[in-house]
Amino acid sequence: MPVLRDDSGTAFDGPPPRRVVSLVPSLTEAIAVTDPSLLAGATDWCTHPVSLGVPRVGGTKWPDVDRVLALRPDLVVANAEENREEDVAALRKAGIPVWITAPATVDQALDTLGRVLAVLDRPDPEWLVRAREVWADPPRLPGVSAVVPIWRRPWMVLGRDTFAGDVLSRLGVRNVFAGSADRYPRLGRDEPGTVPAELVVFPDEPYAFTPDDGPEAWPQARPAFVSGRHLTWYGPSLVEAPAVLLGQLAD
């Protein structure tokens, strides 16, 4: 079997791990749905599956490294954006292999999921096979320009090279900030109302936008409230993401 590498290029060539701590909610769900016996711990933000009953190790940005080590993992899975380099370095210094993911497109996400599950000796579970089929030719909206806020105070939106942006693009939504120099551009307080977009897409995470908190700043665009899990998570939620998101984006 060829040596498998994570998204940072780091090789994993040991025996298949049997105690995995996940620092990424979407990877927690992917592992738990594939084989729950492999999961030894997860973060406080790992909410799926809803029946998940494993020890918690703190947040994604501030995990308790000592608590992770106490669980005696033979692999920790992390994300280059969600998790801090210093925590990854501390785990590796303690002798724990860390698998890093960093997908910026749907295809990259499907590929990195395939590799990490192959490392766990659980290649191509049914949900991953189905996700590949669904995203090979997803249904599309008839082309609509949109802006996607992810935070306010200050306002931040999706910019270039993001997984969520690629999800929307493949569903027929054109992100007006896709050509930005930044992945998450910051806007001035009054700038939202000047953005030339037909649609403003409000996910419910990381900021929990609501009909009373967000749309008032974007009067020029139709608001659509979508599931953050289906927009930003790469795991079993990818199977139903096109149908769920298109239903939420439809006028």
Four-way CATH pick for 4-134: 3.40.50.880, 3.40.50.2300, 3.90.1510.10, 3.40.50.1980? 3.40.50.1980
pLDDT of residue 1: 58
Nearest residue to 242 (alpha-carbon basis) of 230, 251, 228: 230
Q: Where in the chain is the domain with CATH 3.40.50.1980?
A: 4-134, 144-249
* pLDDT of res. 143: 86
Looking at domain 144-249, which of 3.40.720.10, 3.40.50.1980, 3.20.20.370, 1.10.10.10 is its CATH number?
A: 3.40.50.1980
Q: Tell me which residue of 213, 250, 244 sits closest to 228, measured CA to CA.
A: 244
Q: How far apart are CA 166 and CA 175, in angstroms?
A: 9
pLDDT score recorded for residue 156: 97
Note the pTM of the prediction, 2 decimals.
0.94
Task: Tell me what pLDDT residue 121 has.
Answer: 96
Q: Mean pLDDT per 10-residue run, the chain (251 residues)?
A: 88 94 98 97 96 95 96 97 96 96 98 97 97 96 94 96 97 96 94 95 95 95 97 97 96 69
Token digits of residue 114: 């395939």
Q: Under 8 Å CB-to-CB from 54, ≥6 apart: which residues?
A: 39, 40, 41, 42
The rounded distance, in Å, linking the Cα atoms of 191 and 98 is 40
